[in-house]
Amino acid sequence: MVREDGKRNFVMLEDGEKTKQFTGEMPRQAALKAARRLEGYESYDSESEAEQNPTEIRLLERGTDRVHVYHAWAWEDSAPDTKPDWMEDNDVSTVTRGNVSKQGIEHIDT
Protein backbone atom coordinates (compact mmCIF):
# COMPACT_ATOMS: atom_id res chain seq x y z
CA MET A 1 0.00 0.00 0.00
CA VAL A 2 1.49 3.34 -1.05
CA ARG A 3 1.70 6.13 1.52
CA GLU A 4 1.02 9.78 0.72
CA ASP A 5 4.75 10.43 0.33
CA GLY A 6 5.04 7.65 -2.28
CA LYS A 7 6.87 5.19 -0.01
CA ARG A 8 5.80 1.63 0.64
CA ASN A 9 6.37 -0.59 3.66
CA PHE A 10 7.92 -4.05 3.37
CA VAL A 11 8.24 -6.64 6.12
CA MET A 12 11.02 -9.23 6.05
CA LEU A 13 9.79 -12.80 6.30
CA GLU A 14 12.13 -15.22 8.09
CA ASP A 15 10.91 -18.78 8.58
CA GLY A 16 7.34 -17.59 7.99
CA GLU A 17 7.61 -14.97 10.73
CA LYS A 18 7.43 -11.22 10.13
CA THR A 19 10.59 -9.71 11.56
CA LYS A 20 12.00 -6.34 10.44
CA GLN A 21 10.27 -3.57 8.50
CA PHE A 22 11.92 -1.57 5.71
CA THR A 23 10.57 1.39 3.77
CA GLY A 24 11.26 2.49 0.22
CA GLU A 25 9.63 3.86 -2.90
CA MET A 26 10.53 0.67 -4.76
CA PRO A 27 10.98 -2.90 -3.47
CA ARG A 28 14.67 -2.86 -4.47
CA GLN A 29 15.33 0.15 -2.25
CA ALA A 30 13.93 -1.72 0.76
CA ALA A 31 15.86 -4.86 -0.24
CA LEU A 32 19.14 -2.91 -0.35
CA LYS A 33 18.49 -1.64 3.17
CA ALA A 34 17.79 -5.20 4.30
CA ALA A 35 20.96 -6.48 2.59
CA ARG A 36 23.15 -4.05 4.54
CA ARG A 37 21.78 -5.51 7.76
CA LEU A 38 22.56 -9.14 6.96
CA GLU A 39 24.39 -11.24 9.53
CA GLY A 40 27.84 -12.65 8.81
CA TYR A 41 28.96 -10.18 6.15
CA GLU A 42 32.00 -9.15 8.21
CA SER A 43 34.12 -11.95 6.73
CA TYR A 44 33.80 -10.64 3.16
CA ASP A 45 36.27 -8.02 1.92
CA SER A 46 34.95 -7.62 -1.62
CA GLU A 47 31.66 -7.71 -3.48
CA SER A 48 32.74 -10.60 -5.69
CA GLU A 49 33.57 -12.70 -2.62
CA ALA A 50 30.25 -11.84 -0.94
CA GLU A 51 28.26 -12.47 -4.13
CA GLN A 52 29.42 -16.09 -4.13
CA ASN A 53 27.36 -16.70 -0.96
CA PRO A 54 24.05 -14.83 -1.34
CA THR A 55 21.29 -14.94 1.25
CA GLU A 56 17.69 -15.18 0.15
CA ILE A 57 15.53 -12.40 1.55
CA ARG A 58 11.77 -12.26 1.25
CA LEU A 59 9.95 -8.94 1.62
CA LEU A 60 6.18 -8.89 2.04
CA GLU A 61 4.68 -5.67 0.73
CA ARG A 62 2.28 -4.35 3.37
CA GLY A 63 -1.33 -4.17 2.22
CA THR A 64 -0.83 -6.64 -0.64
CA ASP A 65 -0.29 -10.36 -1.14
CA ARG A 66 3.07 -9.86 -2.91
CA VAL A 67 6.33 -11.26 -1.58
CA HIS A 68 9.41 -9.89 -3.35
CA VAL A 69 12.22 -12.48 -3.37
CA TYR A 70 15.86 -11.37 -3.65
CA HIS A 71 19.31 -12.86 -3.42
CA ALA A 72 21.26 -10.44 -1.24
CA TRP A 73 24.86 -10.06 -0.17
CA ALA A 74 26.86 -7.55 1.86
CA TRP A 75 30.51 -6.75 2.48
CA GLU A 76 32.64 -4.25 4.35
CA ASP A 77 34.41 -1.56 2.36
CA SER A 78 36.61 1.35 3.31
CA ALA A 79 34.79 4.60 4.00
CA PRO A 80 34.92 7.16 1.17
CA ASP A 81 37.30 10.10 1.35
CA THR A 82 34.29 12.42 1.28
CA LYS A 83 32.71 10.90 4.39
CA PRO A 84 30.49 13.15 6.54
CA ASP A 85 31.72 14.91 9.66
CA TRP A 86 30.01 12.51 12.07
CA MET A 87 32.04 9.63 10.59
CA GLU A 88 35.24 11.65 11.01
CA ASP A 89 34.35 12.50 14.62
CA ASN A 90 33.67 8.86 15.50
CA ASP A 91 36.77 7.60 13.67
CA VAL A 92 34.74 5.34 11.35
CA SER A 93 36.95 3.78 8.66
CA THR A 94 34.65 1.14 7.13
CA VAL A 95 31.10 1.04 5.79
CA THR A 96 28.76 -1.82 4.97
CA ARG A 97 27.70 -2.06 1.35
CA GLY A 98 25.03 -4.35 -0.02
CA ASN A 99 23.62 -5.51 -3.32
CA VAL A 100 20.61 -7.56 -4.41
CA SER A 101 19.38 -9.56 -7.37
CA LYS A 102 15.62 -9.98 -7.79
CA GLN A 103 14.48 -13.58 -8.18
CA GLY A 104 10.78 -12.89 -8.60
CA ILE A 105 7.47 -12.15 -6.94
CA GLU A 106 5.33 -14.70 -5.14
CA HIS A 107 1.74 -14.28 -4.03
CA ILE A 108 0.61 -15.55 -0.66
CA ASP A 109 -2.77 -17.12 -0.09
CA THR A 110 -4.98 -14.95 2.08
Q: What are the tens digits of pLDDT across the range 48-61?
A: 888 888 999 999 99
Q: Check if the beta carbon of residue 33 is closer than 8 Å to that of residue 16.
A: no
Global pTM value: 0.85
CA 109 to chain centre: 25
Instruction: Give the type of residue at 107.
Output: H
pLDDT reading at 110 higher than 70: no
Express each pLDDT in 63-94 by its tens digit: 999 999 999 999 988 888 888 888 888 888 88
